[in-house]
Amino acid sequence: MYDIFMWLIVLWGFIMLGLLAVGGFFMFRKFLKKMPKEDGFSELDWQDFYIEHALPLWNQRSKDLLNELVSPVPELFRDVAKERIAGRISKIALDTGAQEITLDHMMKGYIIATPKRDHKFMKKKLSELEIDYRPYEDLFEYADDEKQKFSIFEQTEKISSRSE
């Protein structure tokens, strides 16, 4: 009986250590995104800046489409994904001097802000919504990639110079 109890305590210790490591990993990633870059602003500061300045450009149809696009994301992460995608869409719209957020802005921002590992799910969702993503195939190479560690806000020149 004593041995079983000791093994349960050891097992519980490993489980707790594993859970703490996973939680610490995600907290550290959030901390890194909040760290200021060379310009004094963090990735999240820029994201909030672009969303705030482009808020008048968002019409109800664009907001509804954004909500629909992030619907496959688990509810726990949906708000973070929505803010990240909205920040990218907002930057693209502001950089092009748009008067409102269009489907073109949404597609560009959605593709760039979506991690490469989720492209299969993204394409499936776009197909369900009957949105043709083929004109934007070249943007998939600029998508968020955890391995390259670039800011999603650094790709604007490549997207803006792209032929329409």
Domain boundaries, the chain: 1-34, 38-160
C-alpha–C-alpha distance, residues 48 and 43, integer Å? 9
Take residue 104 and report the two structure tokens written for it: 């073109």
Q: What is the pLDDT of residue 159?
A: 56
Q: How many residues does the chain have?
A: 164
Give me the amino acid identity at 145: D
| pLDDT under 50: residue ranges of the chain | 163-164
C-alpha–C-alpha distance, residues 164 and 147, integer Å? 29
Take residue 88 and report the two structure tokens written for it: 């990218």
For 63-98, the pLDDT digits (tens) are 999 999 999 888 988 998 899 899 999 999 999 898
Asked whether the whole model's pTM tops 0.85, one would answer no
Q: What is the pLDDT of residue 102?
A: 92
